[in-house]
Amino acid sequence: MKGLGLALVVLVTLSLFLAAGCPPVQVPDPEEASPAVAVVGPRNVIFFHPDGYGLSHWNILRFWLVGPDGRLNWDRLSHMAPYTEHMRDALTAGSHGGATVHAYGVKVAWDSFGLDKHEVITALSGRQMSIMEEAIQAGFATALIQTGCITEPGTAAFVASVEDRRMKEEIARQVIESGVDVILSGGERYLLPAGVIGRHGKKGERTDGLNLIERAKELGYTVVYNRDELKAAVGRTTKVLGVFAHRHTFNDRTEERLRAEGLPHYWPEAPTIAEMAAATLEIFARYPKATTNGFFIVAEDEGTDNFGNVANSIGSFEAGKRADEAFGVFADFVEQNPNTLLITAADSSAGAKNILGPGPEALKRHLEEHGGNVGKIGFNTGPDGEWVLVPLDGIDGAGTAPFLAAPDKAGNRLPFAVATVSADVSGSIVARAMGLNAELVTRLGVVDNTDIYRIMYYTLFEEWLGKAEIVTP
């Protein structure tokens, strides 16, 4: 934790320096430039939020999945800039406050969920509505796609407002009654009254007696519970509620605990986020509201955050692989439909993961010292200048054999281990985009978390809200 404290001191010092000595510089108004792509037909926005996945995560995933010379689907998003995540009262964002900024376009307190702490938010648009609520009112087709529980803030904060993120029952109710056309997630526990056995074999936990599954049916939703039922629903309905797990569609525990309990990283009967994405796009392709007015999708992979925050490296890789498959689905759609913006960012770095991939001689010595497995690495120095050692992760957790990267151009599979620092930390986050107005990410140079809203709003409603400011020396 001393390393984290030092990083925070450096960040605070730098922020004070910039604030004291450097004037804000206006970024050119996008409306002063001609659009890069002629817009034909309705405008669409896809905001995909692989929670907790920073630049280091994507670089490690590239090594593991396609090799150091390969390219991910994520790499197809050609416009990229550093992302600043700070909140009104904190440098490091939490999931609920970060999502609230994305949904409303203004800085809020760290502990916020669709509110500014306890106060109603006036969004950057000047309205007391989130961007998704405005999209619903304007007639866009809408979707929330979530690998975690229905109450996860990365999606839920776009349509739910509560004073405490632990108010799960109220969050779930607001999501179900939000008017969003397609809702795909886990979280059956918060949709059924206490004691009622759900399709996933466990009891509901609502204390107010509400059965939100029945309420969803009253509102016109077709309710599905697994991959096969989702596939069957495509083509015969335009309102879908997917309830794919009692809690999350994944088991966010350490490698050691999953092994001991015989649990998979992801429940096999639940659709992957790529399958959820493909199903949603197919539904919208047949939905007159979407084909006439356009659509707005907010998608989140929560496993990318949760596995990183419990130092489960192979789980983090599996979550990243699934997120990258979803990027492939979305990117293919954008290439065929250039009136669509695909934009992405995380709001923090889960575990601030980095790799250790030393040269052959150093690796040989390390493995010999630890019986062929990965050992420990110095994270920071103690009071007497000695290194404080922390475990490295191998293929099945701490103290196991090293990972092997996918082959490089020469066919070599190079070994590496993973170092995890802590839970959610700041730094190493980037925003990327492709499609309609994606060049705004590059033109801004640095993308603030409020700019995610600004760019999405401009794409949906053709109005640039205010002048984005950056600070330069």
What integer pLDDT is reported at residue 12 of this predicted model?
36
Measured CA to CA, the distance from residue 465 to residue 457 in angstroms comes to 8
What integer pLDDT is reported at residue 469 of this predicted model?
54
What integer pLDDT is reported at residue 351 of this predicted model?
81
Both 362 and 275 in a single domain? no
Structural domain that includes position 145: 40-350+429-463
Both 284 and 382 in a single domain? no
Measured CA to CA, the distance from residue 142 to residue 163 in angstroms comes to 25
Give the burial string for 423-459 (b: 16+ CB within 10 Å, else e).
bbbbbbbbbbbbbbbbbbbeebebbbbbbbbbbbbbb
Both 318 and 370 in a single domain? no
C-alpha closest to that of 161 among 217, 91, 108: 108
> How far is residue 83 from each of residues 38, 55, 170, 334, 427, measured CA to CA in Å?
27, 10, 31, 22, 8
Both 270 and 373 in a single domain? no
Q: Are 439 and 421 in contact (CB under 8 A)?
A: no
DSSP H helical ranges for 221-359 = 227-233, 255-261, 273-285, 288-293, 303-309, 313-336
Both 380 and 346 in a single domain? no
What integer pLDDT is reported at residue 20 of this predicted model?
44
Q: 59: part of which helix (H) or strand (E)?
A: helix 55-66
Each residue's pLDDT expressed in tens, for the chain with a length of 473 residues: 333 333 333 333 334 333 444 444 455 565 554 344 457 789 999 999 999 999 999 999 999 999 999 999 999 999 999 999 999 999 999 999 999 999 999 999 999 999 999 999 999 999 999 999 999 999 999 999 999 999 999 999 999 999 999 999 999 999 999 999 999 999 999 999 999 999 999 999 999 999 999 999 999 999 999 999 999 999 999 999 999 999 999 999 999 999 999 999 999 999 999 999 999 999 999 999 999 999 999 999 999 999 999 999 999 999 999 999 999 999 999 999 999 999 999 988 888 888 888 888 888 888 888 899 998 888 889 998 999 888 999 999 999 999 999 999 999 999 999 988 877 788 789 999 999 999 999 999 999 999 999 999 999 999 999 865 544 54
343 falls within a domain: yes
Output Rg (C-alpha) for the chain, integer angstroms. Answer: 22
Both 80 and 207 in a single domain? yes
Domains identified in the chain, total number:
2
Tokens of 390: 């922390």
Question: At a CB cut-off of 8 Å and minimum separation 6, what does 156 contact?
Answer: 99, 113, 114, 144, 146, 150, 171, 174, 175
Both 265 and 382 in a single domain? no
3 falls within a domain: no
φ, ψ of residue 407 to 5 degrees: the values are: -60, 140
261 falls within a domain: yes
C-alpha closest to that of 52 among 348, 328, 404, 409: 348
49 falls within a domain: yes
Both 233 and 179 in a single domain? yes
Both 178 and 287 in a single domain? yes
17 falls within a domain: no
Both 288 and 359 in a single domain? no
Both 326 and 341 in a single domain? yes
The CATH number of residue 59's host domain is: 3.40.720.10
SS3 call for 44: strand
DSSP H helical ranges for 219-312 = 227-233, 255-261, 273-285, 288-293, 303-309
470 falls within a domain: no
Measured CA to CA, the distance from residue 245 to residue 270 in angstroms comes to 7
16 falls within a domain: no
Both 185 and 275 in a single domain? yes
What integer pLDDT is reported at residue 19 of this predicted model?
42
What integer pLDDT is reported at residue 86 of this predicted model?
95
65 falls within a domain: yes
